Amino acid sequence: MNKGLMKKINRRNFAKIIGSAGLASTLGMPSLVFGASKKVVVVGGGFGGATAAKYLRKLDSSIDVTLVEPNPTYYTCPFSNTVLGGIKDMSEIAHGYGAMKNKHGVRVIHAKAKNVNSNSKTVTLDNGRKLDFDRAIVSPGVDLRFDSMEGYSQTATDKMPHSWKAGPQTALLRRQLENMRNGGTVLICPPGNPFRCPPGPYERTSLIAHYLKTHKPKSKIIILDAKEKFSKQSLFMSGWDLHYGDLIEWRAGTAGGKISRVDPQNMQVETEFGMEKGDVINFIPAQHAGKVARDSGLTNKKGWCPVNQVTFESTLQPGIHVIGDASIAGKMPKSGFSANSQGKVAAAAIVSELAGQEPIEPSYANTCYSLITPEHGISVAKVYKISDKKTIVGVKGSGGVSPKNEDPIVRRQEAIYTQGWYDAIVQDMFA
């Protein structure tokens, strides 16, 4: 064991590694070699899993790391709204795992994991193959609750796409918008809390409005919201007033926004005020942890994964760490940036544990950028720490939201930062 190098990962440096998130790949973290090879299997190759797999190898190159991800190409949910807005195409949010294999020495298996067993310490794939591990990281993202709304089903997504997992559903919703008549109505139906990416439906509204204003200006967007308020609400609504006027209408849950039934065949949804018809309906259902987490005994009765928030080790299944949207991470939102931060925390915790060291108490960060137009960006940021009760809480006075004034120079700078954030974090994950 190289104790000198181990000392380099002290609490202050670790906080810098985690807090810089998307820029962490520039830090030149040392490679630590602790002796006999240990096996770590990472399930899920998104913002959490890809980051964890890469940083396990960066922190200790002797660890045998296997990443299990069914898709050879990963489409990011962040920036998928720019595809819907006609600003980018699908190829610009597509990323592969070549560097993971060839540069970082991670074994990548494109298969679906069916079960992660903490007793036998095996991951079972859908083809029956079993992978042994000393530690496992599960980053399964979310699954959609097809049972959460009357009339909704997997088949319904062919007519009412959720597009809450980037890829074919993103392309489908984009085609529907392109084919819609000028003067049509788009219904956007966000779920109640908790759900992946709290500002996502409202950035989506903004960028679809940008497309409609440019190409189909007689059209309208109605947001039928299960909630009474939403993330960055005042910034979104002032931006909508500035750029889109009457094109966007938001209805809160108590103002007719709560949906009780969907009717995909007739392209309508039911609220307390009657049926609302849409030419395009983006229905985003309630969510819970991905299936492999539920099938592996990692979820509670609400469908989410309780974890030790210092190490992200499951409190239900020892030896398995759960990160990203599926985990219960205190005050941290379910976002790509959070998952990236948590991937590094879990990687560092596992490296310490395999070396017989106490895990370092981490700090975390989250920044969420949103576009209202291609040249109007807004953001919210927060730093998090571990409280005395060992839960993740916000650091008082840290971060904040964009200023309320609509200075076009400031908003343009935030839009530039949005692109910079995306470029940096996918570089951190996949390069």
- Whether 25 has a pLDDT exceeding 70, the answer reads no
**Domains in the chain: ranges and CATH:** 3-70+111-143+288-362 (3.50.50.60), 146-285 (3.50.50.60)
Is the pLDDT at 21 greater than 70, yes or no? no
Q: Is pLDDT of 235 > 50? A: yes
The DSSP result for 23-78, as a single string, is: GGGGS-PPP---SS--EEEEE--SHHHHHHHHHHHHH-TTSEEEEE-S-SSEE-ST
On average, the pLDDT of the chain sits at 92
Classified as helix, coil or strand, 138 is strand
Q: Is it the case that residue 31 has pLDDT exceeding 60?
A: no
- At 404, the pLDDT band (50, 70, 90 cuts) reads confident
Residue located via tokens 């985990």: 327
pLDDT tier for residue 36 given thresholds of 50, 70 and 90: low
Report the pLDDT averaged over residues 159-173: 98
Q: How confident is the model at residue 85 (pLDDT cuts 50, 70, 90)?
A: very high
**Residue 372 pLDDT more than 50?**
yes
Helical residues (DSSP H) of 60-157, grouped into ranges: 80-84, 98-102
Whether residue 33 is predicted with pLDDT greater than 90 in this model: the reply is: no
Q: Which of 163, 150, 217 is nearest to 190 (CA)?
A: 163
Highest mean pLDDT among 35-49, 282-296, 402-416: 282-296
Mean pLDDT lowest among 13-22, 244-253, 296-305: 13-22
- By DSSP bridging, strand 327-328 and strand 376-386 are unpaired
pLDDT, tens only, 37-70: 899 999 999 999 999 999 999 999 999 999 999 9
Q: Show the tokens assigned to 330.
A: 């205190």
